[in-house]
């Protein structure tokens, strides 16, 4: 049998590769990475205290192989296991904890840009939409104020989740759902929304199989950590859930927190919330119109990002923690993405109006950020700046134990000492657990008993010195505007 030789088509001459020949998703990814790099250069010296808590955990894991805020004292108060693990790996490679924050920030926004670009390509929409969406995330003042925490990582995963569901890839969807839960357990709200979208878009004959794939892969990704945490650390869910649901800010709550922040940071809050408010409008329009038509992929994004954000907010309203500003980050990020891509699904005039408005908002926010002094983050609730806390930590005697005064992350990072706090001393968890359990309903008490079945408090850490506020002219000034009165910080012997 003779082989058939077909004539080869003439090879078209290819022009030399230029920078604009980079794939479209690569351009949006590069835009996210470039924005993250500039952002990190501006903000790396003013990270908030909770970002340093994460860095304390990551450094302890990288340098000592311990899950602890203070080396030698294992604890379980790292809210985001995935963020700590990624930062620890980067610290091992780079040897620089703060630089590792920048690397992870860049990677997160690169992934966000690539995911948004992939969604636009699949939906046949302009890549300008992806560029505007990732730019809004880069310059959002509230999101910027969470650098070092898991917010940008979580938003990158939410964007990737939208891309996976739109592409109808149940295995990838399940993997991202599992990573979201490892990033923060409350991000399971977006995983639940994605599952609803998978059910709604799957043919009847394959629906059960796809749901099983999503749930099965998510379980394989997430469950091993929670089992290991329950067995070795004494609780599957971090102790921070116990602390935050027991904490009360007088006259304030998660429901009205953004309004409260508006009083101290009016322009920063307005620029942060406006894109998310437009996302709520898009969600409302889709709910009124899209459900009466075949909404297609636009409806998928409305469910994953819009419904996911509402479910996430509902979780916090039910838990009733204090209104720490990073709690609003995932909802603001997902609704901002929905606003841009949702308007991009409209008619030509609305698309042009939305794109122009988004570009103007990005430019206005850049002007705001460039004009402000970078001594603290655009939104901060800390009692002092990172520089001031570092100066205080330097006054503590080397090798001793020092009791914290409520904010522990920054002083623990810079102090050559062991800082004693409920986040580092598990003996203090036992008392909080006892009080919480006594006031809990039977159902909540049972859940607490299951979660803390293997909990062992251990001996208490005895401080020799303590950080405190005092009217001492030799103290370190705490100039943060969030604290009701300006004070001086000192180190004093206990007792």
In a domain, 229, yes or no: yes
pLDDT confidence of residue 25: 67
Residue appearing with tokens 């749930």: 215
Looking at the structure, do residues 348 and 395 belong to the same domain, yes or no?
Answer: no
- 51 vs 48, 80, 206, 352, CA distance in Å? 5, 11, 43, 38
CA 19 to chain centre: 32
**Cα atoms in the 13 Å half-sphere on the side-chain side of 154:** 36
Looking at the structure, do residues 421 and 305 belong to the same domain, yes or no?
Answer: no
Looking at the structure, do residues 318 and 430 belong to the same domain, yes or no?
Answer: no
Looking at the structure, do residues 268 and 392 belong to the same domain, yes or no?
Answer: no
Looking at the structure, do residues 142 and 246 belong to the same domain, yes or no?
Answer: yes
CA distance 87 to 60: 11
pLDDT confidence of residue 249: 84
- At how many degrees (to 10) do helices 151-166 and 170-183 cross? 170
- 200 vs 116, 210, 211, CA distance in Å? 22, 11, 11
- At how many degrees (to 10) do helices 127-139 and 97-123 cross? 150
- Look up residue 161 and give its two tokens: 């989740």
Looking at the structure, do residues 222 and 359 belong to the same domain, yes or no?
Answer: yes
Number of domains present in the structure of the chain = 2
Q: Which residues form the domain of 85?
A: 23-371
Looking at the structure, do residues 128 and 276 belong to the same domain, yes or no?
Answer: yes
In a domain, 63, yes or no: yes
Residue appearing with tokens 């580092």: 424
Q: CA nearest 242: which of 183, 323, 327, 321?
A: 321
pLDDT confidence of residue 485: 61
Rounded to a whole number of angstroms, the CA Rg of the chain reads 24
pLDDT confidence of residue 292: 46
Looking at the structure, do residues 318 and 456 belong to the same domain, yes or no?
Answer: no
In a domain, 230, yes or no: yes
Identify whether the C-beta of residue 115 lies closer than 8 Å to the C-beta of residue 108.
Answer: no
Identify whether the C-beta of residue 377 lies closer than 8 Å to the C-beta of residue 173.
Answer: no
Looking at the structure, do residues 256 and 392 belong to the same domain, yes or no?
Answer: no
pLDDT confidence of residue 5: 41
3-state secondary structure 44-75: CCCCCHHHHHHHHHHHHHHHHCCCCCECCECC
In a domain, 376, yes or no: no
Cα dihedral: 416, 421, 422, 427 (round 10): 80
In a domain, 154, yes or no: yes
As averages over each run of 10 residues, the pLDDT of the chain (495 residues) reads: 39 39 73 96 95 97 95 94 98 96 97 95 88 96 97 98 95 98 97 95 91 97 97 94 85 89 93 96 83 61 95 95 95 96 78 83 95 92 92 94 93 95 91 90 92 89 92 85 71 90
CA distance 74 to 458: 10
What per-residue string of b and e applies to 143-179 under the rule 16 or more CB within 10 Å gives b?
A: bbbbbbbbbbbbbbbbbbbbbbbbebbbebbbbbbbb
pLDDT confidence of residue 483: 60
Looking at the structure, do residues 360 and 321 belong to the same domain, yes or no?
Answer: yes
């Amino acid at each position: 049998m003779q082989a058939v030789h077909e004539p080869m088509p003439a090879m078209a001459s290819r022009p030399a590769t230029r920078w604009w020949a980079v794939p479209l998703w690569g351009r949006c990814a590069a835009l996210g990475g470039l924005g993250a790099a500039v952002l990190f250069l501006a903000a790396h010296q003013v990270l908030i205290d909770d970002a340093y808590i994460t860095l304390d955990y990551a450094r302890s894991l990288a340098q000592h192989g311990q899950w602890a805020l203070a080396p030698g004292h294992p604890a379980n108060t790292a809210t985001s296991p995935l963020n700590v693990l990624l930062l620890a790996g980067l610290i091992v490679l780079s040897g620089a904890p703060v630089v590792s924050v920048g690397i992870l920030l860049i990677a997160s926004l690169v992934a966000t840009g690539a995911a948004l670009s992939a969604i636009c390509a699949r939906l046949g929409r302009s890549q300008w939409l992806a560029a505007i969406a990732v730019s809004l995330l880069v310059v959002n003042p509230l999101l910027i104020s969470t650098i070092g925490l898991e917010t940008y990582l979580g938003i990158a995963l939410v964007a990737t989740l939208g891309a996976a569901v739109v592409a109808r890839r149940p295995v990838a969807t399940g993997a991202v759902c599992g990573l979201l839960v490892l990033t923060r357990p409350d991000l399971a709200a977006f995983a639940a929304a994605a599952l609803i979208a998978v059910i709604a878009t799957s043919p009847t004959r394959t629906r059960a199989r796809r749901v099983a794939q999503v749930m099965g892969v998510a379980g394989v990704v997430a469950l091993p950590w929670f089992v290991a945490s329950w067995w070795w650390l004494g609780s599957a869910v971090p102790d921070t859930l116990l602390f935050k649901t027991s904490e009360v800010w007088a006259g304030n709550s998660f429901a009205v927190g953004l309004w409260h922040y508006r009083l101290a940071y009016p322009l920063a809050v307005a620029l942060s919330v406006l894109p998310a408010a437009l996302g709520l409008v898009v969600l409302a329009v889709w709910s009124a119109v899209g459900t009466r038509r075949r909404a297609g992929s636009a409806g998928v994004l409305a469910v994953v990002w819009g419904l996911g954000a509402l479910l996430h907010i509902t979780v916090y309203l039910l838990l009733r923690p204090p209104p720490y500003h990073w709690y609003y980050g995932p909802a603001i990020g997902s609704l901002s993405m929905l606003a841009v891509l949702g308007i991009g699904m409209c008619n030509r005039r609305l698309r042009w109006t939305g794109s122009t408005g988004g570009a103007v908002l990005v430019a206005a926010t850049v002007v705001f950020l460039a004009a402000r002094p970078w001594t603290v983050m655009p939104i901060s609730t800390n009692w002092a700046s990172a520089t001031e806390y570092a100066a205080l930590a330097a006054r503590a005697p080397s090798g001793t134990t020092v009791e914290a005064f409520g904010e522990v992350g920054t002083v623990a990072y810079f102090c050559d000492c062991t800082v004693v706090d409920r986040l580092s001393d598990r003996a203090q968890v036992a008392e909080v657990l006892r009080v919480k359990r006594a006031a809990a309903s039977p159902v909540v008490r049972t859940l607490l008993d299951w979660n803390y079945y293997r909990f062992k408090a251990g001996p208490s850490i005895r401080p020799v010195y303590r950080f405190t506020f005092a009217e001492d002219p030799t103290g370190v000034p705490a100039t943060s505007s969030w604290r009701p009165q300006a004070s001086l910080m000192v180190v004093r012997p206990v007792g």
